Amino acid sequence: MEHFHYLNGELHCEGVSLRAIADSAGTPTYVYSRATLLENLAAYDRAFASVPHVVCYAMKANSNLGVLASLARAGAGADIVSGGELHRALRAGVPPPKIIFAGVGKTREEMREALKAEILLFNVESESELRALNETAQAMGTRAPVALRVNPDVDPQTHPYISTGLKTAKFGIPMDRAVPVYENAARMPGLAVTGVQMHIGSQLTKTAPFADAVARVAGLVRALRDRGVDIRLLDIGGGVGIRYKDETPPTKDEYARVLLPALRALGVTVLLEPGRSIVGDAGALLTRALYRKESPDKTFVIVDAAMNDLIRPAFYGAYHEIRPVAEAGSSRPAETVDVVGPICESGDFLAKDRALPRVEEGELLAVMSSGAYGFAMASNYNTRPRAAEVLVDGAGYTIVRRRETYEDLVAGESIP
């Protein structure tokens, strides 16, 4: 996270002090570095420059309009999984010919809206969905561009909750069923079969699972072409990990290097769906220590951010580095603490048994590498307003989502 750095004793995002952001926007607040977003996107474009490709940012990682618009202006498309994400993508200026629609449970209304927008591709995950999309497109007098998500049954060696490429997953069509399902799809008058899609999981830190999966899918592409199914697009998904603690994920160049020989040989346009690896290390959650609570067995630092703001530690057991905004000098004693929030749940923690410089009440902390699956998975549990979001650009910043008010929380409700 090179764009988060200490300057004159205070943690900055690019050229802006996080203390200044806290003074203006309050806490908890998500802070994003625009420079990091654009550098991560550009790294994918450079790595895959030798083949036709489109980087379709996986919106589920972070769907803030400011983030989306920044990426869209730099040439990114979008990987969406709902009608709401389609609405956001279009609002942010993502060109419809760069939008791909994934997900196992698309409704017919969502299909209609995507067909009206003339998106690039539907990634279909079941035979039932194929039939529904065919009927929807026919009723509209059009044809839906389709890829089937195939399940290569590759172990991505990641957390089971974010592993999607095994045969036991709810995602995709089994590889041994793919050819007959493709042949059936090719006969449906409302479909234009143009691609193959795969996605084996998230936060992968090795290239071997990617290479194995692409090799298996490349064999399927050749088999389909032999049967007269013209495959022009190959969506290789996303899933490249980032560094949270001591992981060593592949660089974009290393990722591309193991895949490009097979992709070049196929002569396809490559679609990529990176999410976490574009926005994850571009964000930090800014929070303030409220209280210290000490007992003979445990010391707690109670902060104003909670599991409703960042659920990954409670949900996945995920690790996020925590840095004091005021740089800790050598004279500041270290201690082992649990960093917890105000939610009425024992699972409400941001870190357990974490060694930190002593944290005083009122002090600002930054929870690092929280740009992905942070605000996107936030909730209003305990009737807590969701955090503000700030996008930093050089020496300036914009509050790209204001903090919710109590009135926002009850705006859609009524008392009978």
Active site residues: 344
CB neighbours of residue 409 within 10 Å: 14
Q: CA distances (Å), 122 to each of 103, 108, 149, in order?
A: 9, 13, 10
H or E element that contains 56: strand 53-58
How far apart are alpha carbons 312 and 350 in whole angstroms?
Answer: 8
Tokens of 292: 């210290």
Buried-state track 169-195, b at ≥16 Cβ within 10 A, e below 16: eebbbebeebbebbeebbebebbbbbb
Is the alpha carbon torsion for 204, 208, 212, 214 positive or negative?
positive
Tokens of 11: 């943690």
Pairing assessment for the beta strands 53-58 and 77-80 based on DSSP bridges:
parallel
How far apart are alpha carbons 148 and 185 in whole angstroms?
Answer: 9
How far apart are alpha carbons 126 and 131 in whole angstroms?
Answer: 9
H or E element that contains 392: strand 388-393
Three-state SS at 251: coil
How far apart are alpha carbons 290 and 305 in whole angstroms?
Answer: 10
DSSP letters of 331-385? TSPEEEEEEE-SSSSTT-EEEEEEEEEPPPTT-EEEE-S-SSSSGGG---GGGPP
H or E element that contains 34: helix 34-47
**Are 325 and 18 spatial neighbours (Cβ–Cβ below 8 Å)?**
yes
Q: CA distances (Å), 127 to each of 183, 271, 312, 329, in order?
A: 12, 23, 33, 61
